[in-house]
A and B are shown apart, each in its own frame.
Chain A
């Protein structure tokens, strides 16, 4: 297990290198001259040329990449064109609000989604199933930004119970995490139900019931563990969805996080921020997939790591 983990961790290096190359090429595909962007709109040609030399943009591409990669390894991600501050500082400030938002959304949506999914599967074709699945299909159909605006209108503007924008207290987290998690909860519910319905029909469940086991024990011990494997896979995939969803939700709630930073950076063509954020999102994403792979072994001991 430990050696497998190490192997996978080492395997991340080439993947990250490929991502870095892609991000580097991506930034070079962006329209507009980065030197002109860095120098500002009023700069004369001499200044632009000077800035180009300063940023090393006059050198050949491979050389630029090596220096870009070298600086990155030392933790130097450049300076934001917009705020003129180090990209690492910009990101560090906004990392935690996004992380907490993602984690709270994930936690409630997984618990809630699985509960709906299990009750739908157990009471298949009865009213809890119909209600649960109606909620779930509505959840995947309601766009996050519309849900966020609706919740804000009801609970912040009309009722005045919760704050509208910002991330200062735990009460600020309620509406954004509901908004962000709703889609995930819906997907989890549908997926858990599908997985559970298959497991319930298995022979070992019939055996468990036949030997007079308590139905609760059958459901939560025998079925749950076996139904969980595809559900965990889905959970990993949904984390990616949350990373993406945070971009929209953070815009709605004016959340001081990475998603909004990315939207602002794309709008302003702030390319050092864009490239660092894309790298960061990719890294998070790769790590989450690694964690999911490791979780398999914990849930299903018959999976052997090589």
Chain B
């Protein structure tokens, strides 16, 4: 299969839908091929492990946190640094920072995941339509996404929050807006390539409807690219969501959102720098993990890079 650009060779293999042919005893599906290349990238593997750990923490936070993130106050240890009782120290109100970081993981991951999912869904839909039907619809969608693509995301998000008001749900909506054009471009590009393929022509010749062709035969061909982009986008979205909370336009105190925690910590940087340090590190390592994982997945799907 001679696919022209990076992600399509595997993508088109997916869409081919035939059972993979066993060769030399081992079945080589696009998946095993992907895994074979992915597992050689040790950095990406570590990132994957960290992401899985984060997800576990996010789900189990209320049970594994040593103290209540919002309603436990240790008035004797206000602003104290890390100790055995409080691993990451205590904040100016006497709350346990470690517990708040754990609970914050849930918020940050959820904000990142849902905003990219929403943006990806809308963007992929628009991209499929634009790529498949072409014409004026294509031109309008691409024009708008060109403008949106380059427009500063946080400015756009700020505008959305200004209209809808400050809350975590609105932050998710605001952040999702600027994932839309990127997904639209990506899926449109893939669709343009895939709709020229012989198998699509074959499906059309047996009388399949546009809906069947797009959903069952073209969309699956973009899934791998979408998943990689989804991962890479998560990091940026988590940062933007945290930035909005930092500016006071997302999660409101006492919610243990990492960006909001940093904003609260600003008041007392001289006496209690550790209050700012741990949320910073939490955001950094989370975003870093998603970025490294995304890079690794991209390289594993790239047919030009082999046996790295």
Chain A contact residues, CB within 8 Å of chain B: 26, 29-31, 137-138, 140-146, 149-150, 152-153, 157, 236-237, 240-241, 243-245, 247-248, 251-252, 262-263, 266-267, 269, 274, 278, 281-282, 285, 289
Query: Chain A: which residue is nearest B152 at the CB level?
Result: A244
Contact (A146, B262) CB under 8 Å given A29-B163, A248-B247, A267-B248 = yes
Q: Contact partner of B262 among A149, A244, A269, CB < 8 A? A: A149
Contact (A141, B273) CB under 8 Å given A26-B159, A240-B151, A285-B150 = no
Chain B contact residues, CB within 8 Å of chain A: 149-155, 158-159, 161-165, 235, 239, 242-243, 246-249, 259, 262, 265-266, 269-270, 273, 276-277, 279-280, 283-284, 287-288, 291-292, 295
Instruction: Tell whether, in the assembled complex, residue A143 and residue B242 are in contact, meaning their CB atoms are under 8 Å apart.
Output: yes
Instruction: Tell whether, in the assembled complex, residue A141 and residue B162 are in contact, meaning their CB atoms are under 8 Å apart.
Output: no
Instruction: Tell whether, in the assembled complex, residue A30 and residue B276 are in contact, meaning their CB atoms are under 8 Å apart.
Output: no
CA distance A263 to B149 in the complex (A): 22
Contact (A149, B280) CB under 8 Å given A240-B150, A248-B154 = yes
Instruction: Tell whether, in the assembled complex, residue B162 and residue A266 are in contact, meaning their CB atoms are under 8 Å apart.
Output: yes
CA distance A150 to B158 in the complex (A): 24
Minimum CB–CB distance for A146 against chain B, Å: 4
Minimum CB–CB distance for A253 against chain B, Å: 11
- Between B149, B150, B262, the greatest number of chain A beta carbons within 10 A of the residue's beta carbon is seen for B150
CA distance A262 to B244 in the complex (A): 13
Minimum CB–CB distance for B95 against chain A, Å: 19
Instruction: Tell whether, in the assembled complex, residue A141 and residue B287 are in contact, meaning their CB atoms are under 8 Å apart.
Output: yes
Mostly, the B contact residues are helix
Query: Chain B: which residue is nearest A142 at the CB level?
Result: B284
* 10 A-B pairs in the complex with CB atoms less than 8 angstroms apart: A30-B163, A143-B246, A145-B243, A146-B284, A150-B277, A245-B152, A247-B247, A251-B247, A267-B249, A278-B155
Q: Contact partner of B295 among A137, A241, A243, A285, CB < 8 A? A: A137
Instruction: Tell whether, in the assembled complex, residue B284 and residue A143 are in contact, meaning their CB atoms are under 8 Å apart.
Output: yes
CA distance A198 to B284 in the complex (A): 30
CA distance A278 to B291 in the complex (A): 31
Residues of B within 8 A of A245 (CB): 152, 154
Instruction: Tell whether, in the assembled complex, residue B280 and residue A262 are in contact, meaning their CB atoms are under 8 Å apart.
Output: no
CA distance A264 to B279 in the complex (A): 24
Residues of B within 8 A of A274 (CB): 162
Instruction: Tell whether, in the assembled complex, residue A266 and residue B270 are in contact, meaning their CB atoms are under 8 Å apart.
Output: no
Residues of B within 8 A of A150 (CB): 276-277, 280
Contact (A247, B292) CB under 8 Å given A145-B243, A266-B249, A274-B162 = no
CA distance A278 to B259 in the complex (A): 24
Residues of A within 8 A of B161 (CB): 266
Minimum CB–CB distance for B197 against chain A, Å: 26
Residues of A within 8 A of B158 (CB): 247, 262-263, 266
Residues of B within 8 A of A282 (CB): 151
Minimum CB–CB distance for A34 against chain B, Å: 13
Instruction: Tell whether, in the assembled complex, residue B246 and residue A137 are in contact, meaning their CB atoms are under 8 Å apart.
Output: no
Minimum CB–CB distance for A265 against chain B, Å: 9
Query: Chain A: which residue is nearest B285 at the CB level?
Result: A141
CA distance A252 to B262 in the complex (A): 10
CA distance A146 to B163 in the complex (A): 27
Contact (A137, B262) CB under 8 Å given A143-B283, A149-B269, A289-B150 = no
CA distance A150 to B283 in the complex (A): 13
Minimum CB–CB distance for B196 against chain A, Å: 25
Query: Chain B: which residue is nearest A281 at the CB level?
Result: B155
The 7 closest A-B pairs by CB, nearest first: A244-B152, A146-B280, A141-B288, A244-B154, A141-B287, A266-B162, A240-B152
- Between B243, B266, B277, B288, the greatest number of chain A beta carbons within 10 A of the residue's beta carbon is seen for B243
Q: Contact partner of A237 among B150, B235, B266, B276, CB < 8 A? A: B150
Residues of B within 8 A of A152 (CB): 269
Instruction: Tell whether, in the assembled complex, residue B269 and residue A153 are in contact, meaning their CB atoms are under 8 Å apart.
Output: yes
Residues of A within 8 A of B246 (CB): 143, 145, 248, 251
Query: Chain A: which residue is nearest B163 at the CB level?
Result: A29
Instruction: Tell whether, in the assembled complex, residue B262 and residue A145 are in contact, meaning their CB atoms are under 8 Å apart.
Output: yes
CA distance A173 to B269 in the complex (A): 20
